Amino acid sequence: MGADLRGKRETPGRGRPVRGAVLLACCSLLAAGCATMPDSGDVQPVKASNPGDSQVRVYAVAPRDNADPEEIVDGFLEAMTSDDPGFATARKYLTKQAARTWQPEARITVLSTAPDRDQADRMVDQETRGRTYPISGRRIATVDARHAYGPEVPAEYNEAIHVVQQPSADGKTKEWRIDSLPSGLVLGEADFLRNYRSVNKYYFASGENWVVADPVYIRQRQDPVTRMDPVTQTVKALLEGPTRWLSPAVDSRFPSGTELRKGVTSLTTDDQSTLKIPLNAKADRASALACKGMAAQLLFTLGDLTSVRVEQVELQGSDGNRLCLLGKGQALDEFSPVEDPGRAENTYYVDAHGRLMVLSAGGKQPDKPLAVPGPFGQSTQPLRSVAVDREENRAAGVVQEGRELRVASITADASDFSDSYGTSGAAGTTEELPAPVVTSSALRPQDRLSAPSWDGHGDLWVADRNPVRPRLWMVPGGTGERVEVSTPWLKDGARIESLRVSADGVRIALLVKKNDRTTLQIGRVERSAAGGQETVSVVDPKRVAPRLESVTAVSWAGPSRLVVVGTEAGGVQQVRYVQTDGSTSATSVLPGLNGVTAVAAPHGDQVPVVADSGNDGIVRLVPGANWQPMVKDGTSPVYPG
């Protein structure tokens, strides 16, 4: 349904149609795709594409004869947003030397809107007779040559494009062309999200047998530089190795120097949904065990691409012979950071009596809450906050007004775990809590222990917010001798307000408070052992939501995504998804909800996001609906982790 639109695009920030590109918009009902493309009719100006609208295509148009310098600059800025192979048309706006040296793949600068081109200051270049055009905007991120997205606190972007006159092709006249320009591509956020999409690459946690997600951005369609389709781009990005930030904490099973066989630009599955991947000679020396790991990395990575269904991967050596074959089910069973990744997780919370309750939130109506078996299901020591391990066998609870962290079992025979627990107390004899594994000596409850979190190793983490000496603790196995985690960056009055560790145990989401401002940061977890002593450090913390002025709550929502509660400067509280690299999209904002103090999301997508909304109690967000009440008198909702 709907006709395509074809015409010159009116670019935000420049205020008038330009001749640099042609835009093709596909409009349809229920994403049915494009109908027919009109072959007659007038060319009409159309507005810039909506953020992330990948059905909108921009086709570059070469500069017209005798174009004035403003048209050259505008045309080039527009041509950078196209899918033109090799950016060949964009290079026609450049001098021969600039066309040879320009590397659009080197980096991408992302602005909040399309770059603004100001009038040239003609007094600057009287000597060369050239003209300099200031280019400005609000820079919000950069993408490096490894495809890694890096968010930034929005800041002024000021660069320039310089144009000169050079002889035309016939040598009879002169044409304006660009001889100096900013590095790489400069795109508004809408054009960036239209042309690029986020994909998780996967590598193994160092010394472990489970994978870690490493998000990067690839082209939505064929890459103009490599001419590769999205599947091949994704495989190539995986083979290039992890992003710089994650690299110290992960390993790749691919031998160094492994690449796709020369000339491969397209990869497609066969009728068995098998993807055959031809590799160069470097892969020939991989052992059978390493090859299995290589195939697992590919299966997890390609699982993020909705455009292709890959059930198994066959790796081929330089001679075309099979190196190994691995199916998706086997990869999930052996290399997932969570056991039984397809299962639906239970929701836990603390009731009005300080007991740990459990219920399933995924049905048409939430189940009746039940007190868990064991001491946490009783009210002898009311809980302040809680975390449940990823196997749902144990819980860690902060008690005594934040002074103590204790660990206890929450499992029982099916006959015990029944409605007899109800909402009036656990059945049977009162059980004593084990001795605390971490304590805090801070004077005020709000300065004591944070809510705890379990990682994929089965280790337990908690922050002591004592202003005298704020610290981060890790308890091996949940019951071992506590280890103080090295955090040299935690200084000058900063403290960890709350934390959540990823399922893979390699990354930790931190709410860091300093000078009455709380920011979201992701730290890399590094472990080492010497003389029987384990050393644990959280290093290179990076802000992943710099546009949020203050963050209230955070939860992991899968291998590389967080659900975050925060406010932008001068804005209202919002709940939204944020990738661990800091990127967002127009669809990442969840329906509005007021007064949120805590939020929890599952590792998979089988059950809904839940939140503590203050006066409304605990609510859930079912896909396609608004927030729904779940429990009136409850706090601190969590999923395992």
| 8 A C-beta contact, residue 396 and residue 478 | yes
Q: From CA 453, how far away is CA 121, in angstroms rounded?
A: 58
Pick the residue with more confidence: 123 or 132? 132
CA distance 592 to 636: 19
Q: Which stretch of 20-29, 257-266, 357-366, 623-632 has the lowest confidence by average pLDDT?
A: 20-29
Q: Does 423 fall in a domain? A: yes
**Cβ distance 256 to 117 under 8 Å?**
no
Distance CA 10, CA 21 (A): 10
List 214's β-bridge partners, or say none: 201
Q: How far apart are CA 432 and CA 286, in angstroms?
A: 53
- Integer CA distances (angstroms), 601 to 266, 288, 392, in order: 36, 37, 15
Q: What is the pLDDT of residue 16?
A: 38
Site of tokens 């489970």? 210
One-letter amino acid at 352 equals A
Last residue of a domain, one of 194, 214, 245: 194
Question: Which residues fall within 8 angstroms of residue 380, CB to CB, at 6 or more apart?
Answer: 430, 432, 433
- Residue-wise pLDDT for 451-493, tens only, equals 999 998 899 999 999 999 999 999 999 999 999 999 999 999 9
| Segment 24-37, tens digit of pLDDT | 444 333 333 333 33
State the amino acid at position 274 in one-letter form: T
Domain count, the chain: 2
Parallel, antiparallel or unpaired: strands 322-327 and 634-638: unpaired
Phi and psi based region of residue 330 (left: phi greater than 0; alpha: psi -120 to 50; beta: remaining):
alpha
pLDDT level of residue 408 (50, 70, 90 thresholds) = very high
More confident residue, 46 or 145: 145
Side-by-side strand order, sheet with 356-359: 370-371, 356-359, 347-351, 634-638
Q: What is the pLDDT of residues 369-385, one digit of tens each?
A: 999 999 999 878 899 99
CATH assignment of the domain containing 386: 2.120.10.30
Q: Give residue-wise pLDDT tens across range 555-597.
A: 999 999 999 999 987 888 999 999 999 998 767 888 888 899 9
**Tens-place pLDDT, residues 508-537:** 999 999 988 999 999 999 998 877 788 999
Share of the chain above pLDDT 70, in %: 87
Give the per-residue pLDDT at 624.
Answer: 79
The rounded distance, in Å, linking the Cα atoms of 56 and 53 is: 6
Residue 401 domain flag: yes
Token pair 């059905």: residue = 55
Cα 226 to Cα 455: distance, rounded to the nearest angstrom = 39
Is residue 256 situated within a structural domain? no
At 84-128, the pLDDT tens digits run: 888 999 999 999 999 999 999 999 999 999 999 998 765 555 556
3-class DSSP assignment, residue 98:
helix
DSSP E strands in 15-87: the ranges are 17-25, 46-47, 56-60
> For the chain, what is the total number of helices (H) and then of strands (E)?
7, 39
Is pLDDT larger for residue 59 or for residue 404? 404
Domain end: 134, 161, 194, which one? 194
How many CB atoms sit inside 10 A of residue 265's CB?
14
Specify the pTM. Answer: 0.86
pLDDT digits (tens, 9 = 90+) for 532-555: 788 999 999 999 988 888 999 999
Beta bridge partners of 151: 141
Q: Which helix (H) or strand (E) holds 96?
A: helix 96-101
CB 11 within 8 A of CB 74: yes
In a domain, 257, yes or no: no
- pLDDT score, position 44: 38
Which pLDDT score, from 0 to 100, does residue 58 have? 75
Question: Quick check: 450 pLDDT over 90?
Answer: yes
- How would residue 367 be classed by pLDDT, with cut points 50, 70 and 90? confident
Domain that holds residue 144: 5-194
Contact 100, 88 (CB under 8 A): no
- Rounded to the nearest angstrom, the gap between the alpha carbon of residue 556 and the centroid of all alpha carbons in its chain is 11
Q: Is residue 299 part of a domain?
A: no
Long-range contacts, 136-139 (Cβ 8 Å, 24+): 137/13, 137/111, 137/112, 137/113, 137/186, 137/188, 138/111, 138/112, 138/113, 139/109, 139/110, 139/111
284 — alpha (psi -120 to 50), left (phi > 0) or beta? alpha
Residue 465: how many other CB atoms lie within 10 Å: 21
Please report whether residue 254 resides in a domain: no
Alpha helix (H) ranges present in 172-287?
189-195, 230-239
How many C-beta neighbours within 10 Å does residue 443 have?
10
Name the nearest CA neighbour of 224 among 51, 29, 58: 58
pLDDT of residue 572: 87
Domain final residue pick, 165, 194, 223:
194
Let me know if residue 449 belongs to a domain: yes
Strand bridging mode 274-278 / 250-251 = unpaired
Asked if residue 294 belongs to a domain, the reply is: no
